[in-house]
Amino acid sequence: MATRLDDTQIEQRMSGPDMAAWHRTGDVLRRTFQVYDFSTAANVVEDIVYDVKTLDRHPDVHIRGNEVSFVIRSDEGLTDADVELAHRIEKAAGSHTRGYA
């Protein structure tokens, strides 16, 4: 079972330059990546399937052209698994993202 995080724990785990593009509103984390093309956007999603299953989390995913958006939400509050998924999405999208260094 995932552990619910308080505001301070979430802020600590989501801080840092690699997570700066994530936006939090209450118990929702959002991020949109601009990638090279539609097939690359689909590859980003494919790259996180294992993590989604392993963490037992189910983000909303939206692909539009060369953009892929993720929304991680939890009715019972953000958990360590939700934040970990955000980190794994960020890592998976890395080399697919325009401007990635």
Phi then psi for residue 95, to 5 deg, are: -75, -10
Q: What is the mean pLDDT of residues 8-24?
A: 95
pLDDT at 75: 83
Summarize the confidence of residues 41-67 as an average pLDDT. 95
| Length of the chain in terms of residues written | 101
Query: For position 20, what pLDDT does the model report?
Result: 94
In the predicted structure, residue 101 carries a pLDDT above the cut 50:
no
**Other C-beta atoms within 10 Å of 39: how many?**
9
Distance CA 28, CA 78 (A): 7
Q: Alpha helix locations (H) across the chain?
A: 7-14, 38-55, 80-93
Q: Check residue 2 and give its pLDDT.
A: 81
Predicted confidence band at 77 (pLDDT cuts at 50, 70, 90)?
very high
pLDDT bracket for residue 76 (50, 70, 90): confident
